[in-house]
């Protein structure tokens, strides 16, 4: 069963929350705009109704009322012909100039009725609201459809925008996980060497100068690893300061540091250099030292007792330096060569670290130095890792 990363689940939940909040805000804004539009329409219709009723009452029977308006007086009604509604009882308007305006439903239709006292006569103007009601219904329908479209569009756009907004957060979490994994792996190799050397001193019962120097070098390397990893965690994006580095010297130090562990495992570890080697490359010494340490740690972990590991340096041409780490260990299928440098992938041979995090870190460092790394191997025969750098 596939496990879900809690951080990924939290990011998805945050994305949905942001998207829903954006959708709610946009929907409320559109709703407010629709409410204002509907209020403006009602105000306009009320003003138009009042204008037509006043015009009809002022014109009297001598003027033809506008459409949808009827005038009823004791002397007759206008326009002529039968009325489309049954006359309701007139409200009381006892004094001259009294005005009563009301909303009535007559024969299934809605009317605005204005009753006035004109010199002791009761006049009534009837305004049919059919078209006004239709306009309001059309506006409400349009606002409802617009609200639905805006809601769907805001949800989709909010989800997209939320994804862009939390992408830096996801990248920060990814960098944090990577840093933890890098720190765990990078600290393991020097700690293993220090542990092995300490055990050796305990068995001997004495501490020789060489042993103490090796311990000091290991602790110094451990400190450099911690410093570099903490600096990389700052994600400042600044390029490291490169300086001329002698690969042969770093290789000698790495081989010397791993010699005790190799001897304990009965593995022959040796270093060879081509005559007239030009090995100076631009780089960061601590980073390149970690590359060699990771490759040797990987080779020793996959080479059985009686096997051998050779570290060789040569100049394939006038512009490059090549460093090879060749072992006679468990090897790997050549089709897995690309997967060797994937993070958190694991193999089945040796101690299971051939496909570990270390080779991914090695590739990052080598690529960051403008170099290349290639892997070749066969199951049961061994593996060869070739690093190529530009000469300084």
CATH number of the domain where residue 269 is located = 3.30.565.10
Residue 108's pLDDT is: 92
Residue 347's pLDDT is: 52
Residue 349's pLDDT is: 53
> Is 267 inside any structural domain?
yes
> Is 366 inside any structural domain?
yes
User: Which value, to the nearest 10 degrees, does the dihedral of the CA atoms of residues 346, 352, 355, 361 take?
Assistant: 120
> Is 380 inside any structural domain?
yes
Tell me the residue ranges of DSSP E strands in 47-97.
69-73, 76-78
Could you give the count of Cα atoms lying within 13 Å of 152 in the half-sphere of its Cβ? 5
Q: Which two tokens stand for residue 15?
A: 């994305």
Q: How many domains does the chain have?
A: 1
Residue 193's pLDDT is: 73
End-to-end C-alpha distance for the chain, whole angstroms:
51
Residue 355's pLDDT is: 43
Residue 181's pLDDT is: 67
Inter-axis angle of helices 357-368 and 285-301, nearest 10: 150
Q: Which two tokens stand for residue 24?
A: 């709610």
Residue 202's pLDDT is: 63
Strand pairing report for 268-273 and 308-314: parallel
Residue 337's pLDDT is: 83
Closest CA to 43 of 33, 54, 31, 35: 35
- For 21, 79, 249, 257, 346, the CA distances from 329, given in Å and listed in that order, are 58, 110, 25, 20, 16
Closest CA to 374 of 361, 355, 388, 360: 388
SS3 276: coil
Strand pairing report for 121-128 and 99-106: unpaired
> Is 89 inside any structural domain?
no
> Is 110 inside any structural domain?
no
Q: What CA–CA distance (Å, rounded) separates 310 from 214?
A: 21
Residue 130's pLDDT is: 92
> Is 229 inside any structural domain?
no
Q: What CA–CA distance (Å, rounded) separates 350 from 356?
A: 12
Residue 188's pLDDT is: 67
Q: Which two tokens stand for residue 297?
A: 């740690």
Q: What CA–CA distance (Å, rounded) separates 236 from 216?
A: 31
On whether the pTM is more than 0.75, the answer is: no
A 10 A CB-CB count for 78 gives 18
Say if residues 277 and 315 touch (Cβ distance below 8 Å).
yes
Residue 392's pLDDT is: 85
Cβ burial of 389 (10 Å; 0-12, 13-18, 19+) is buried
Residue 235's pLDDT is: 38
- What is the span of the domain harbouring residue 372? 239-390
Closest CA to 371 of 281, 248, 260, 253: 281
How does pLDDT run along the chain (392 residues), one tens digit per residue? 455 567 778 788 888 888 888 888 888 998 999 999 999 999 999 999 999 999 999 988 888 888 889 999 998 999 988 999 999 998 999 899 899 999 999 999 999 999 999 888 999 999 999 999 999 999 999 999 988 998 898 888 888 888 887 788 777 777 777 776 666 666 666 767 776 777 677 676 665 666 666 766 666 666 656 655 554 554 344 556 789 999 999 999 999 988 988 998 899 999 999 998 999 999 988 889 888 988 998 899 889 999 999 999 999 999 999 999 999 998 888 888 888 877 655 555 554 444 444 677 788 888 888 899 999 988 888 999 999 999 98
Tell me the residue ranges of DSSP E strands in 97-231.
99-106, 109-118, 121-128
A 10 A CB-CB count for 290 gives 27
A 10 A CB-CB count for 124 gives 22
> Is 9 inside any structural domain?
no
- For 52, 70, 328, the CA distances from 99, given in Å and listed in that order, are 15, 17, 111
> Is 333 inside any structural domain?
yes
């Amino acid at each position: 069963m596939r496990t879900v990363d809690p951080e990924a689940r939290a990011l998805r939940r945050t994305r949905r929350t942001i998207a829903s909040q954006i959708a709610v805000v946009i929907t409320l804004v559109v709703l407010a705009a629709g409410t204002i539009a509907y209020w403006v329409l009602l105000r306009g219709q009320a003003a138009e109704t009042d204008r037509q009723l006043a015009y009809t009452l002022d014109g009297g029977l001598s003027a033809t009322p506008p459409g949808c308006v009827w005038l009823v007086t004791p002397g007759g009604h206008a326009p002529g012909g039968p009325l489309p509604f049954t006359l309701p009882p007139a409200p009381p308007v006892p004094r001259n100039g009294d005005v009563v305006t009301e909303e009535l439903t007559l024969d299934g239709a809605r009317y605005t009725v204005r009753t006035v006292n004109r010199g002791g006569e009761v006049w009534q103007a009837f305004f049919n609201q059919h078209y006004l009601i239709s306009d309001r219904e059309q506006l409400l329908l349009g606002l409802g459809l617009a609200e639905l479209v805006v809601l769907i569009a805001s949800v989709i756009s909010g989800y997209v925008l939320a994804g862009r907004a939390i992408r830096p957060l996801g990248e920060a979490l990814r960098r944090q996980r990577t840093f933890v994994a890098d720190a765990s792996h990078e600290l393991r190799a020097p700690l293993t060497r220090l542990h092995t050397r300490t055990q050796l001193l305990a068995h001997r019962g004495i501490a020789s100068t060489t042993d103490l120097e090796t311990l000091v070098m290991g602790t110094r390397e451990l400190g450099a690893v911690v410093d570099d990893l903490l600096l990389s965690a700052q994600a400042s994006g600044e390029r490291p300061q490169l300086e001329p580095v002698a690969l042969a010297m770093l290789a000698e130090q790495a081989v010397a540091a791993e010699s005790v562990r190799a001897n304990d495992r009965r593995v022959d570890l040796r270093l060879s250099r081509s005559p007239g080697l030009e090995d100076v490359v631009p780089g960061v010494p601590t980073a390149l030292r970690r590359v060699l340490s990771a490759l040797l740690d990987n080779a020793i972990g996959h080479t059985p007792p009686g096997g051998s590991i050779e570290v060789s340096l040569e100049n394939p041409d006038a512009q490059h330096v090549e460093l090879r780490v060749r072992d006679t260990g468990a090897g790997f299928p050549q089709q897995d060569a690309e997967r060797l440098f994937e993070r958190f992938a694991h193999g089945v041979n040796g101690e299971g670290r051939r496909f570990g995090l270390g080779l991914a870190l090695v590739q990052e460092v080598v690529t960051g130095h403008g170099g290349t790394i290639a892997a070749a191997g066969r199951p049961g025969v061994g593996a060869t890792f070739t690093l190529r750098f530009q000469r300084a």
